[in-house]
Structure formats: C-alpha cells, structure tokens
Structure 1
C-alpha cells in the first residue's frame, strides 16, 4: 500500500473515532496524516469512500475469520452459563481490541445507509446463518428459555455489553473492575435467559 494512502487511512480512523465522520474534514485527515488533501482524493474519491475504506476490512475480512474462531469457542462450552461467560468475555475483548473501528461502525450505523447495508450483508450472509447457529448452540444446552429467540439473545447480550462499554468510557465511577463487572454481566444474562 502506498505510504500516503496508509497515512490517510490511519489518520482517518483516529479522527473518525474521536470526532465522528461528520466532525472530521478531509483537511483534518490530511493535516494529521502529514499529506496533502490532493493525496487523499488521489486514493479516495470522496470522504465517504475514505470512511468505508477504514471500516470495510474490519467488517468484511476480519469478521468472517473471527466468526469461525468465535463459534469454535462457543462449541467448546458445555453449559449455558459457560457459553454466556465465554460470549461476554470474548465480545468484550473483541470490542476493546478494535475500539476505534467499532466506535466508527457504531456511530455510522445510526446515520449512514451504506454502513447499515454493509453490516446487513454480513449478518445475512448466504454462506453462514450467524443468528441461527448462535441459537442452535444455546438450545443444545437444554437450558435456554423457550421464549428466547436469536434476536432476543443478541439484544440481551449485546445490550449488556454496550452499556458496560459506554459506562467504562464515559462514567468510570460506575465500573468496579473489568473481571468483576464481566462476571456480574454474565450472571445477569444467565438469570434472564435460563429456564
């Protein structure tokens, strides 16, 4: 990858995660990257193209590889409690390990139709039924409540983690310690979804 293109991508990722897509100009990106604005437009026709170039690799390439590792980890768990604990700690590690890209994706999903479409394609992939496979693993324990469907399971787990990530970032006074908090989150989820 050419040096100027790489510098633009790194600077854009930092700035989009700090100030949001709308709060960042290509002039800001050029200044942070130490390149000209013309260099940015040489590689990316629009600011939107630049943003998609930042997040697309995480969504398209890293996610499928990680998806396989994630489901292999779930399959190793024998009980509903073990699965929930694995998911909570694994997803938290994923979010923290990709914090800038996850922040950009989350912000842009709210307002950007292209981002929602890209994410939707990954979730609805013809080669893998993410939600169906997740629910199947949880049902195999025999412990999941009958009225919990795949979307509900994701909302319960994702909601707990999302709130915790927001708390730890913006109101750290509410955080007791990562390990203690993740254990408590897992216990709360289990109480909610277990028969």
Structure 2
C-alpha cells in the first residue's frame, strides 16, 4: 500500500474514533497524516469512501474469522457459566484490542443506513446462522431458561458489556478492578438466563 494511502487510513481511523465521522474534516486527516488533501482524494474520492475503506475490510474479513474463533471457543465450553465467562472475556478482549475500529463501526451504524446494511448482511449471511447457532450452543447445556431466545441472549450480554465499556471509557473511577468487574458481570448474566 502506498505510504500516503496508509497514512490517510491510520490518521482517519484515529480521528474518526476520537471525533466521529462528521466531526472530522479531510483537512484534519491530511494534517494528522502529514500529507496533502490532494493525496487523500487521489486514493479516496470522498470522505465516505475513506470511511468505508477502513470499516469494510474490518467487517468483511475480520468478522467471519473472529466469528469462527468465537464459536469454536463457545463449543469448547461444557456449562452455561463457562459459555458466559468465555463470551464476556472474549468480547471484552476483542473490543479492547480493536477499540478504535469498534468505536467507528458503532458510531456509523447509528447514523449510516449503508453501514447498518453491511452489518446485517454479515450477521445474517446465508452460509452461517449466527443467532441460531448461538441459541443451539446455549441450549445444549440444558441450563438456559426456556423463555430466552437468541436475541435475548445477545441483548442481556451486550447490555451488560456496553454499560461496562461506557463506564470504563467515560467514568473510569467506577472501574477499579477489571477482573472482579468482569466476573461480577458473568455472574449477573448467568443468574438472569439460568433455569
């Protein structure tokens, strides 16, 4: 990849995650990358094209890979507690390691129909039923409540994780013992979904 293109992508990722897509100008990206605006537009016709150049590969290439690793990890768990513990720790580690890209994807999914469409396409791929497979794995332990469906599992776990991530990023004084906090989250989730 040419140096100018790579510099634009790196600077855009940092600025988009910090200031949001709409709060970032191509002038700011060029300044942060140490290149001219003309160099940005040489590789990307619009700022939206630059955003998609960051997000599309993450979603199209990394999502299936991480999805498969994720389900391999769940499949190796024998109990509901083990599955929840794996999900919470695995997703927390993934988000922590990919914080900038995750922030960009989340912010853009809230405002961009194109981004939401790309995400829905990935989650509902014809070759893999994400929600169906997730429910199958949780049901195989025989420990989950009968009234909990796959969407419910995702909402319950994601809700706990999102609130914790917001606390960690915006009110870090509330997050004093990460390992203990994650363990408590796991215990709360298990109490909510267990028979």
TM-score range for the pair, normalised by the shorter chain length: over 0.9
Matched residue, 2:145:
145
Matched residue, 1:96:
96
Structure 1 unmatched ranges of 5 or more: none
Matched residue, 1:167:
167
Name whichever of 169-178 and 22-31 sits farther off.
169-178
Structure 2 unmatched ranges of 5 or more: none
Q: Tell me the secondary structure at the aligned position of residue 125 of structure 1.
A: coil
Name whichever of 16-25 and 170-179 sits farther off.
170-179
Matched residue, 2:44:
44
1:65 paired to 2:65: yes
Cα shift at 1:189: 0.2
Matched residue, 1:182:
182
The structure 1 segments of at least 4 consecutive aligned residues displaced by more than 3 Å after TM superposition are none
Name whichever of 170-179 and 78-87 sits farther off.
170-179
Matched residue, 1:4:
4
Cα shift at 1:176: 2.8
Matched residue, 1:132:
132
Matched residue, 2:34:
34
- 1:24-80 residue CA offsets vs partner (Å, 9 max, x unmatched): 001110110111101111111110110111111111101111111110000110000
- 1:146-183 residue CA offsets vs partner (Å, 9 max, x unmatched): 11011110000011001100000111121131100000
Q: Distance in 1 between matches of 2:181 and 2:109?
A: 27
Cα shift at 1:186: 0.3
Matched residue, 2:113:
113
Q: Distance in 2 between matches of 1:4 and 1:114?
A: 26
Q: Distance in 2 between matches of 1:157 and 1:13?
A: 27
Q: Distance in 1 between matches of 2:153 and 2:176?
A: 25
Q: Tell me the secondary structure at the aligned position of residue 38 of structure 1.
A: helix
Q: Distance in 1 between matches of 2:37 and 2:113?
A: 26
